[in-house]
Amino acid sequence: MRTDTGQVFKLEDYRPTDYLIPETSLTFRLSPEATRVVAVLTVERRGGIAASVPLVLDGDGLTLTRVAIDGRTLAPTDFFATPDQLTITALPAAPRFQLVIETELAPAHNEALMGLYRSSNVYCTQCEAEGFRRITYFLDRPDILSVYTVRIEALRHEAPLLLSNGNPAGSGELADGWHYARWHDPFPKPSYLFALVAGALGKVADSFVTLSGREVELGIYVEPGKEGLAGYAMDALKRSMKWDEEAFGREYDLDVFNIVAVSDFNMGAMENKGLNIFNDKYVLADQETATDADFANIEAIIAHEYFHNWTGNRITCRDWFQLCLKEGLTVFRDHEFSADQRSRAVKRIAEVRTLRAHQFPEDQGPLAHPVRPRRYREINNFYTATVYEKGSEVVRMIRTILGAETFRAGLDLYFERHDGEAATIEDFIKVFEDASGRDLSQFSLWYHQAGTPNLTISSTHNPAAQEFTLEIEQSVPPTPSESRKRLMHIPLAFRLVGADGKAMAFSSVEGASVEDGVIHIRKRRHMVRFSGVAERPAISLNRGFSAPVTLSVEQKPDDQFFLAGHDDDTFSRWQAFNTLLTDALISAFRQVLGGKRPGFASRLTKLAGKIAGDGTLEPAYRALALALPSEADIARDIGKNIDPDAIFSAREALTAAIAGANREIFSDLYDRLADKAAFSPDAASAGRRALRNILLDYLSLLPGGAALAARHFQSATNMTDRAAALTVLALRHSGSPEAVKALADFEVKYATDPLVMDKWFQIQASVPGPKTIDAVRALTGHPAFSMTNPNRVRSLVGTFSSANQTGFHRTDGEGYRFFVETVLQVEKRNPQLAARLATALRSWRSLEPSRQAKAREALLSIGNAENLSADLRDIVERTLA
């Protein structure tokens, strides 16, 4: 484990290296305990650098067995090696030489899942961000682009399949049952994109003909026997390849494209050139084992990794501060893909919900950082919602400002100008400036400044003058180490809506630049005056969520109700209803704190019924509208002095009120939505299931609810319905005979399917209330649970600590004690996973004082543990700062 050195990496310290490595040839002789790696590097000294300047290579826990230059083994005095660095001082005078480095690894003991490791007897690698240095000494940074040739040797019976990046370049038999394969990747790439897989795997094969008529062989490799579960992933891959050609003119460039699913993986998936490695959760699916959400995730992640081939691989990042260059842009691309494959309106709402659930709390808490950070201690901790999701929103805003056509011209220029390079955010912004002739310098603050901007907006109407005025004020709250903020350029899409629900015209506007329905806010305060507005309009703001900001709007409830029923922008219509729900929940929370029973306006609860039954709206949209803001959403909007129990009661009360007010509509619709057709994972069918399942959630609160959910569970013909019913039983009817039976039946049925058991762990970890901690503790001893598998840990421990507000924040601090124990236990093997778990307490300062004190104590006790990894120390110290 890499312990913390306390070193802080700074953007301004970036310097190009003195040496380059244009060619890398690697030979692996694979064995679980002692794998030999021979790296033959062509090293080039840059012009102007003296031969006396040593070559300093990165390592991480390496065992060096030999170093040679130009065929001569170096003497111990010619170099200095530690497990974490190799410094060679005796270098040839010639500007180009061949360096051979031999190392020995024990993949079977690599539990951090970085570098070369074993997952269920399969050798695999993970090199982003700095895992390559756990394989060999190298200039392990993304601006060192090298052409790789790889030879893999293994015992044929142990590893019949040998894969690496690029195209196959030969294979054959060796003595004693060994065999080998060679791979060559003609595209220069950074070391973080290197990959190797070797083992016994099942294959699903297909092919794809590119726009220019080249045939690409496609392979998806899975655990033998699971080939039948890879069909959806293959279909998603082919659709992604086609879409990238049509939407962005990007064609695939190698002869093969392979995907391997492994069961031990720290993240979702990895875009290694020509050889994507996936967490098997995001490959394997059928109706029996995967939910509609799983299908949608698989489609999105397959697309995301594939799209990286251009945005990340062909054009990579100069340094890790530029991570959003590949991630923000690639998330934007996968969002667009899913929007085109599914429903754009529904997709946008789902994206915004995710952003608010994950990125807003990050931006509003101690871990806030700019989309392009300027410093880090541990880069693994910067694969964040800010870099990914906010990064994508920033790209979306560029498109909003430039218009779709100019945006596309800018991207074309980006591919043309920077193909084969390691680029920066400045390069990225420049192509859009050049393509549009606009100055994006103020806009670029979105990359450099942390925090979620807020817009305070009020309006006045002067009927005599036929003038409607919006007073808009922007503010960006202070964030760690950025107390003073500069004014941002915020593109705010809007519409004035008349009583007939249609857009109201205006004759002129002054006070801000307004183009194509977008107000460009650039100053602290704008008075935006619309002339020729006879009647007072309702105002639809931040349409389509044009900017990732919070709004404080003085809006009359009547207008909000009107927009919730009439806004023609589906996102804003959803938003209007969601705001009404949030406002009601916040006042209910206050009532609960004041010892009162919360009450709700009947026009609100009735509107829920109206939306549910509105056949003009897509079922998936209706399901999203009926999903109340989560407890965490409510806590975030309240902001301080959070009592999770009071939030829970308020939310329960509103759910019951909506169910009670709409009994007949809901139950009638629930019956009508029963699917009689054969299962299909398409968006429309999934939408109908989503609506029916949320109706079940409401109906389960009415008399006979547990029995209804039990019937739903038993008659389910797919995992979406089965898991939804189990959730309702476990969460709403915890401890009931129906819940106990369903949980037991599920466990028996899926005991040998780890990915399905994850759902079982997850559901039980979500049960609200003080007793859940005991169940979670007990489940850590379940035979299907393992502290070494990231998916298992996230399902049980991760769900409990980041998605169970009442259980985790139990008043006596027991949830936090469990959290400290498990984080420290996980950290010993897998620091990256532990650091992610530890972010569950990032919003500790918004808790009420007693919980806050206990949460702080928990963080301090992690911080005081000995030999803490760089990953965990970084998170804990920033959270406490």
Q: How far is the CB of 270 from ligand 0A1 (least distance, A)?
A: 4
Kindly tell me which of 318 and 430 has the beta carbon lying closer to ligand 0A1.
318
For residue 599, the minimal CB distance to Zn ion (Å) is: 46
d(CA 201, CA 198): 9
662 binds, among Zn ion, ligand 0A1, none (CB under 5 to 8 A by kind): none
Measured from the CB of residue 304, what is the shortest distance to Zn ion in angstroms? 5
Quick check: 14 binds ligand 0A1 (CB under 6 A)? no
Residue ranges in 814-873 that form contacts with ligand 0A1 under rule CB under 6 A? 832
Nearer to ligand 0A1, 556 or 828 (CB): 828
From the list Zn ion, ligand 0A1, none, partner contacted by residue 341 (C-beta under 5 to 8 A by kind) = none
Give the range of 28-36, 263-271, 546-554, 704-712 binding ligand 0A1 by CB under 6 A: 263-271
Q: Which of 140, 153, 327, 652 binds ligand 0A1 (CB under 6 A)?
A: 327
Residue 128: which of ligand 0A1, Zn ion, none does it interact with, CB under 5 to 8 A by kind? ligand 0A1
Q: How far is the CB of 268 from ligand 0A1 (least distance, A)?
A: 6
Choice from 110, 125, 126, 364 touching ligand 0A1 (CB under 6 A): 126
Q: Does 334 bind ligand 0A1 (CB under 6 A)?
A: no
Q: Would you say 31 or 313 has its CB closer to ligand 0A1?
A: 313
Q: Which residue is nearest to ligand 0A1 (CB)?
A: 267
CB nearer to ligand 0A1: give 700 or 832: 832
* CA terminus-to-terminus distance, the chain: 24
- Indicate which of ligand 0A1, Zn ion, none lies near residue 383 (CB less than 5 to 8 Å, by partner kind): ligand 0A1
Q: Which does 482 bind (CB under 5 to 8 A by kind): Zn ion, ligand 0A1, none?
A: none
> Counting contacts by CB under 6 A, is residue 381 touching ligand 0A1?
no
- Minimum CB separation of residue 304 from ligand 0A1 in Å reads 6
Given a contact cutoff of 8 angstroms between Cβ atoms, the answer to whether 398 and 432 are in contact is yes
Give me the least distance between CB of 228 and Zn ion, in Å please: 28
Size of interface with ligand 0A1, in residues (CB under 6 A): 14
Q: Do residues 702 and 741 make contact, with C-beta atoms less than 8 angstroms apart?
A: no
Neighbours of 719 (CB within 10 A): 24
What is the Cα Rg of the chain in Å? 28
Torsions phi, psi of 607, nearest 5?
-60, -35
CB under 5 to 8 A by kind: which of Zn ion, ligand 0A1, none does 546 bind? none
* Catalytic residue IDs: 305
Q: Which is nearer to Zn ion, 244 or 327 (CB)?
A: 327
Q: Rounded to 5 degrees, what are φ and ψ at 232? A: -65, -40
Smaller CB distance to Zn ion: residue 334 or 362? Answer: 334
**Choice between 313 and 560, CB closer to Zn ion:** 313
When binding is defined by CB under 6 A, the residue of 270, 298, 657, 728 that contacts ligand 0A1 is: 270
Helices (H) and strands (E) counted in the chain, each on its own, are 30, 33
> What span, in angstroms and rounded, lies between the C-alpha atoms of 548 and 545?
7
Instruction: Choose the one of ligand 0A1, Zn ion, none that binds residue 152, judging by a C-beta under 5 to 8 angstroms depending on kind.
Output: none
Which listed option, ligand 0A1, Zn ion, none, makes contact with residue 739 (CB within 5 to 8 Å by class)? none
377 in Cβ contact with 835 (< 8 Å): no
Helices (H), 594-700: 602-613, 619-626, 631-638, 644-661, 663-672, 683-699
The tokens for 440 are 């994006």
The nearest distance, CB 308 to ligand 0A1, in angstroms, is 7
Nearest residue (CB) to Zn ion, 303 versus 368: 303
Q: Which residues pair with 258 in a beta bridge?
A: 219, 275
Smaller CB separation from ligand 0A1, 187 or 818: 187
Q: What ranges make up the beta strands (E) of 210-336?
A: 215-222, 256-262, 269-270, 275-279, 316-317
Nearest distance in Å: CB 301, ligand 0A1:
7
Among residues 383, 415, 506, 679, the one that binds ligand 0A1 under rule CB under 6 A = 383
Nearest to 722 by CA among 351, 395, 294, 299: 294
The contact set with Zn ion (CB under 5 A) reads 327, 330
- Pick what 2 binds: ligand 0A1, Zn ion, none; C-beta below 5 to 8 Å, kind-dependent: none
Q: How far is CA 542 from CA 364, 395, 500, 551, in A?
A: 20, 16, 20, 9
197: left (phi over 0), alpha (psi -120 to 50) or beta: beta
Question: What distance in Å separates the CA atoms of residue 162 and residue 91, rounded to the nearest whole number?
Answer: 35
Of 29-37, 261-269, 314-322, 849-857, the segment contacting ligand 0A1 by CB under 6 A is 261-269
Half-sphere CA count of 628, side-chain side, radius 13 A = 28
DSSP result, 188-207: EE-GGG--EEEE--EEEEEE
Both structure tokens of 515: 């183009």
SS3 string of 547-585?
A: CCCEEEECCCHHHHHHHHHHCCCHHHHHHHHHHHHHHHH
Q: How far apart are CA 767 and CA 769, in angstroms?
A: 7
Sort 251 into a burial class: Cβ within 10 Å, 0-12 / 13-18 / 19+.
middle
Q: Least distance to ligand 0A1 from the beta carbon of 72, Å?
A: 37
Tokens 């993986």 belong to 265
Q: Determine if 305 is a binding residue for ligand 0A1 (CB under 6 A).
A: yes
Sign of CA dihedral 488, 347, 800, 110: negative
Nearer to ligand 0A1, 278 or 698 (CB): 278
Question: Which of the choices ligand 0A1, Zn ion, none does residue 240 contact, using the CB cut-off of 5 to 8 A by kind?
Answer: none
Q: Quote the least distance from Cβ 328 to Zn ion, whole Å.
A: 9
Which C-beta is closer to Zn ion: that of 327 or that of 631? 327
- Count, residues in the chain: 881
385 interface partner picked from Zn ion, ligand 0A1, none, CB below 5 to 8 A per type: none
Candidates 139, 159, 229, 269: give the one binding ligand 0A1 (CB under 6 A).
Answer: 269
**Contact range with ligand 0A1 by CB under 6 A, out of 269-277, 412-420, 790-798, 835-843:** 269-277
CB of 383 to Zn ion, least distance (A): 8
What is the three-class DSSP state of 273? coil
**Cross-strand bridge partners of residue 277:** 260, 270
Residue from 143, 271, 378, 618 in contact with ligand 0A1 (CB under 6 A)? 271
Binding of residue 266 to ligand 0A1 (CB under 6 A): yes
Least separation in angstroms between CB 393 and Zn ion: 15
Give the strands of the sheet with 55-58, arranged side by side. Answer: 55-58, 85-88, 79-82
Binder of residue 400, out of ligand 0A1, Zn ion, none (CB less than 5 to 8 A by kind): none
For the bound state, the minimum distance from the C-beta of residue 219 to Zn ion, rounded and expressed in Å, comes to 21
Q: By C-beta, is 128 or 618 nearer to ligand 0A1?
A: 128
From the list ligand 0A1, Zn ion, none, pick the one residue 718 interacts with, judged by a Cβ distance below 5 to 8 Å according to partner type.
none
**Residue 758: C-alpha distances to residues 260, 281, 536, 745 (Å):** 21, 10, 53, 15
Best CA proximity match to 40, nearest among 29, 55, 24:
24
102, 128, 389, 874: which one contacts ligand 0A1 (CB under 6 A)?
128
494, 543 contact by CB (below 8 A): yes
Residue with tokens 């000995």: 866
Crossing angle of helices 425-436/323-341, nearest 10°?
Answer: 60
Residues found near ligand 0A1 in the complex (CB under 6 A): 126, 128, 266-271, 304-305, 327, 380, 383, 832
